[in-house]
Structure 1
Amino acid sequence: MRWIIAAIVAVLLVIIGWRFVPERDEIVIYSAKGVVTVNGPDTIAEAVAVQNGRILGVGARQTLTANYPDARIDETFAGKFIVPGFIDPHIHMVLSSLQYAVPTAPPWPMATPDGMRDGYPTREAFFARVRAVEAEAKPGEPLVIYGFHDLVHGPLDRHDLDAVTTDRPLIIWHYSSHDFYLNSAALEWAKIDASLHEKFEGVPLGEDGLPTGRVFEDAVPHLLETLGGVLMNPFKVKKGLDGFSKLLREGGVTTVADLGYGAFGLGLEDLNIKVNWQSPAHSGYRLYLVPEHRAFEKKFGDKRVETIKDMVSGARGTPAPVLPQVKFFADAAFYSQTMRVSEPGYLAGQSEGSQGLWVIKPDELTSVISPYWDAGLSVRIHSNGDEAQSATLAALAALRNRNQDLRFVIEHGGLFSPDHVAKAGAFGAAVSAASHYVYYLGEAYQAPLGPERGQWISPLASLSAAGVPVTLHSDAPLAPPLPLLAASVHMTRATREGGVLTPSEKMSAYEALEAITIDAAYALGLEDELGSIAPGKRADFTILSENPLVVPGAEWPNIGVWGVVLGGEKRPVSGAEN
């Protein structure tokens, strides 16, 4: 009888996804080929002792066993390397849930939960993919396809999409996530006509006086009044987030922060997190939330700062912890050439002749941020173009007169001139850089930016030398949430075309590892909890097949990820050996 019960238990463990959970108060010593602590470039240990989800000690195995004679020795990682748990400090939970659930036609190979998906690097290939998806879709229903990029696929308007179909609303979602392109049926379905041009900058008109089909930035909320019901199908959202979570686990990520909490509506976001993420114990990674200023201003008005502080303290319940930070936007998107650049503006591409867009005007930045800053809330500010960097750093200089200690993290940081680099160091900024600007668009952006500004894309080595803490983020789903791949890009400065952009800005192996561990924890304000392997910190580790500090940068994406230890609990990637 007992063997039958044992067999049933074994089957149930497989079904629910067995994982080792140490008994409470038990001390476990994880022995490894090496423990890369990120407490200095040469700090390599042999083992780490863990109790109740916290690190007790790290060092030589013999020393730890002597210090903790009753500890259980775990040899699972005897041939592997333990590094601090990888952190992606800027992702988007709902956006990832949506985009990983719709058909794609990306301009370059794209990591998906089902493996790498081929890119469509020419206009012809892109339209062939769109036609194939359209032919297989249910007749008459609105169809959204993600991945178009104008610098790869060329210009796009309603006439191009009408040539694919006039029998259904067809919506192409730009790779930046900030732009949509609609065929005539979609324009009619979404009630977008020429009258909206006076209201929204993001509804341009063609020579015929009618909408071109492009809808972007300030006009997107109007589009989502119709499109939102299609995108936010709860079954698709769950499928998308499940796939996104799978990617995070495969990448060895133990912690993420959603930069934009509230942007899609607290009701939808809270439900998505409660149902589909749940908690670290179930989802396999920690999630923190950073409120978005415009969303909270719209919903809570004068109570917005008080509401955020109540969320941070726990006085107002949230489905995941809220950090004492607020997200702002200085300008628009790097990928869609709407970031704000200096004169003479864009020299080529879909924004040729313009300078891009402000989200918060330069003379308003300080006053918009001040109520939060004065309440002790740190800043995470989307700031991409070089003119945006000038405005953002000017605001920081003014804010520093009021508080020297709060964190001010520039998000994405597409362009930094040498003057911007110096000011970022002098004013105590940190930079959370978008991981793949260099690789995806480093060469494609040379014509739109020109030779001088084209060399200012993500100068991370210069920023580090200026004393600026630098981390990397995926901005997922805009780039894959795979930290080893992200770090590799900035160690090699490789472009997708096979070149190298500003090789003087290459990061060292140790700088790159810091960027996805301790410096990422700094951006979250959690460096006392996460980001390195030291006594008292959370026992969050990523388990690798090789020591990344001795592997060439170009090979980092090929380092095997066994899985993670989260709060002292082993969590192998599906199929990994225990």
Structure 2
Amino acid sequence: MLKLHNLKIILLFLVITSCKNAKNDADTLYYGGPILTMEDDNPQVEAIAIKDGKILFSGSKQNAKRFIGNNTNQINLENKTLMPGFIDAHGHITSRAGMSQAVDLSPSPYGTVNNIPELQTTLKEYINKYQLDPTTPVMGNGYDDAIMEEHRHPTREELDAVSTTHPIIVIHASGHASVVNSAMLKLLQIPEDVKDPEGGHYRRDPKTKRLNGKLEENASFMALMKLTALLPKPPETAGLSQSLKDFLAAQDEWFSYGQTTICDGRTMGVGLTLLREAAAKKLIKADIVYFPDFEANKKEWESFLPHYMKYENNLKFGGFKFSDDGSPQGKTAWLTQPYLIPPEGQSKDYKGFPIFTDEVLYDDLKTIFSKNITAQLHVNGDAAIDQALRVIGKLRQEGIYKPELRATLIHVQNSRPDHISKIKDIGVIPSYFSAHVYLWGDWHYSSVFGPERAAFISPVNAAKDAGITFTIHHDAPVTPPDLMTGVYAAVNRITRSGMVLGPEQRIKVIDALKAITINAAYQYHEEDIKGSLKEGKLADLVILNKDPLTIDPKELRSIQVLETIKEGKTVFKR
């Protein structure tokens, strides 16, 4: 009896031990290539183990063996590089989805429309290809006067030359301006004597004073919202609306660029409805952080509060968005010194214009900061940056703004050296659109700012030297959701023509990678669960075909995302 009793004890011990070990068995083990953690005390490891969507272990391959079980999927990276999934610090996924059906008018390097005749031909070919009824509206997106040969916007008459019956609107690459033809003015009921809205302009021919078709800032946004309301909704297929299909395509596009957390940086109207519907139908595979436009949602702003900083079906309300000025490459950003070459029809002292008065911005930010809600503030020109720092600085002195809210200054293009210490003292995070250096650096140098001011755009090294946590973003759909071009630009500071613009603002590759991983997680108050490969964090991963830390920095743009993994599950594979 004693022997039988001992045998039962031994068997029970073996069962318990087996169950205990099974609990520690990894679902997946990665090894065999550079594994970049973004952790300063352990920057590169030999292996990581994943279980239940989280990182179970990060360290040596030898120590990882204890997590291998019968069902562990062991993946040899074969010298490919694994690192944390990229985090979109500022983009616009609902805008990208909304533009999916628009005619692509992007210039090189992402498109082929490099002059106004090509723009006209592309629109005509679209109309003919789809045999559109004579009065069907046509929307184009992505034309860019900074890159096109004429270096100017198309005109109402040039769009009339495409069609006098189809209402046409073409949207500038920045998203801050558009041009319409006469038929679109008629459809939107915009009369010749229309008054400028607050924070926007209807531009006119300087000689005839007739509308030239160009709409800036709020004039453009109002036109787009009105047009959206007029367009018929396409029928559902397979239980999904076209809008949801476009959203899913946009989400897949973000995944193809290695991002596991996605931003919607100015949610309003149909975009808000789209995100909520996608979440309700559990179609969101990434984590999406959205920032409703405060002005557009002012009447119901308090309805967002119960959702603050909580993921609900992968959707999180992250704070409110404020757009304080326009675009530097589109020359609507608000500057303290005039543009080097003013846009057509403007005087030599033209400096762009603000969207808000200090009083309005103060009241609105006080409203949300008092509730401990954070904000993203779009500030491109130095006057807009001044305004944001002035207003938030006042709220900081009054004890209403606290650095732990981590309010973020978005773009911060036309920054000045004196801004750096103020950003640090007030306690806000600058998020730089570093790809500007590569994509529009030549334009900023020769037409927008001039050499001295252009050399200090996206001053990431000045921020780093001051000990400021900064991030890098892509602002899609202004560009594709391409963060590696932002990394390339921050590291090399090379323009499209090959000029080095502001070499003193170059940073190391590791610092640029942190800006799209651990720093971006910090910006979203998620550094405890994302942004680095550390035990207990989410298994949000990206596999690259090259190691960004060892290749020639000039080759960073050539890096391909091979696989994107969200919480242990592959969501994209090339």
Calculate the TM-score normalised by the size of structure 1: 0.85
Worse-superposed segment, 142-151 or 205-214: 205-214
Worse-superposed segment, 370-379 or 230-239: 230-239
- Partner of residue 488, structure 2: 488
AA at the equivalent of 1:328: F
1:155–1:571 distance in 2 versus 1, CA, 3 Å: closer
Aligned equivalent of 1:125, options 118, 121, 126: 118
Helix, strand or coil at the partner of 2:194: helix
- Partner of residue 338, structure 1: 332
Worse-superposed segment, 381-390 or 204-213: 204-213
Give % identity: 25
1:54–1:232 distance in 2 versus 1, CA, 3 Å: farther
AA at the equivalent of 2:288: L
Preserved contact between residue 530 and residue 537 of structure 1 (Cα < 8 Å): yes
- Partner of residue 5, structure 1: none
Q: State yes or no: 1:258 paired with 2:264.
A: yes
Helix, strand or coil at the partner of 1:464: helix
Q: 2:185 & 2:272 partners in 1: Cα distance? A: 28
How much has 1:509 moved relative to structure 2?
0.9
Q: State yes or no: 1:278 paired with 2:276.
A: no
1:561–1:320 distance in 2 versus 1, CA, 3 Å: closer
How much has 1:476 moved relative to structure 2?
0.9
Q: 1:231 & 1:431 partners in 2: Cα distance? A: 38
TM-superposition CA deviations, 1:471-511 (whole Å, max 9, x none)? 11111111111222321122111222232211221121101
- Partner of residue 289, structure 1: 290
How much has 1:533 moved relative to structure 2?
0.6
- Partner of residue 227, structure 2: 227
Q: 1:502 & 1:44 partners in 2: Cα distance? A: 31
Preserved contact between residue 27 and residue 70 of structure 1 (Cα < 8 Å): no
Preserved contact between residue 435 and residue 479 of structure 1 (Cα < 8 Å): no
Aligned equivalent of 1:184, options 175, 179, 182: 182
Preserved contact between residue 197 and residue 205 of structure 1 (Cα < 8 Å): no
Q: State yes or no: 1:148 paired with 2:154.
A: no
Q: For 1:111-510, what aligned pairs fall within 5 Å after superposition?
A: 118-137=111-130, 138-140=132-134, 141-151=136-146, 152=148, 153=150, 154-199=152-197, 201-206=200-205, 207-229=207-229, 233-234=233-234, 236-264=242-270, 266-271=272-277, 274=280, 278-280=283-285, 285-297=286-298, 299-300=299-300, 304=301, 306-312=302-308, 320-345=314-339, 347-350=341-344, 352-353=346-347, 354-401=350-397, 402=399, 403-446=402-445, 447-510=447-510
Helix, strand or coil at the partner of 1:79: coil
1:50–1:524 distance in 2 versus 1, CA, 3 Å: same
- Partner of residue 37, structure 1: 37
- Partner of residue 14, structure 1: none
Preserved contact between residue 438 and residue 493 of structure 1 (Cα < 8 Å): yes
Q: 2:412 & 2:231 partners in 1: Cα distance? A: 29
How much has 1:71 moved relative to structure 2?
7.6
Q: State yes or no: 1:66 paired with 2:66.
A: yes
AA at the equivalent of 1:336: G
AA at the equivalent of 1:146: N
How much has 1:41 moved relative to structure 2?
8.2
How much has 1:69 moved relative to structure 2?
6.8
Q: 2:382 & 2:67 partners in 1: Cα distance? A: 54
Preserved contact between residue 312 and residue 321 of structure 1 (Cα < 8 Å): no
How much has 1:346 moved relative to structure 2?
5.4
- Partner of residue 8, structure 2: none
How much has 1:68 moved relative to structure 2?
6.5
How much has 1:524 moved relative to structure 2?
1.2
Q: 2:142 & 2:403 partners in 1: Cα distance? A: 42
- Partner of residue 16, structure 1: none
Q: 1:214 & 1:272 partners in 2: Cα distance? A: 34
How much has 1:229 moved relative to structure 2?
4.2
Q: 2:441 & 2:279 partners in 1: Cα distance? A: 35
AA at the equivalent of 1:174: H
1:184–1:358 distance in 2 versus 1, CA, 3 Å: same
Identify unmatched segments of 5+ residues in structure 1: 1-22, 111-117
Preserved contact between residue 172 and residue 180 of structure 1 (Cα < 8 Å): yes
AA at the equivalent of 1:292: D
How much has 1:107 moved relative to structure 2?
2.4
AA at the equivalent of 2:356: I
AA at the equivalent of 1:130: L
Q: 1:50 & 1:552 partners in 2: Cα distance? A: 31
1:426–1:231 distance in 2 versus 1, CA, 3 Å: farther
TM-superposition CA deviations, 1:93-123 (whole Å, max 9, x none)? 221012232111212232xxxxxxx422233
1:371–1:236 distance in 2 versus 1, CA, 3 Å: same
Aligned residues: 533
- Partner of residue 52, structure 2: 52
AA at the equivalent of 1:368: D
Preserved contact between residue 143 and residue 170 of structure 1 (Cα < 8 Å): yes
Helix, strand or coil at the partner of 2:354: coil
Calculate the TM-score normalised by the size of structure 2: 0.86
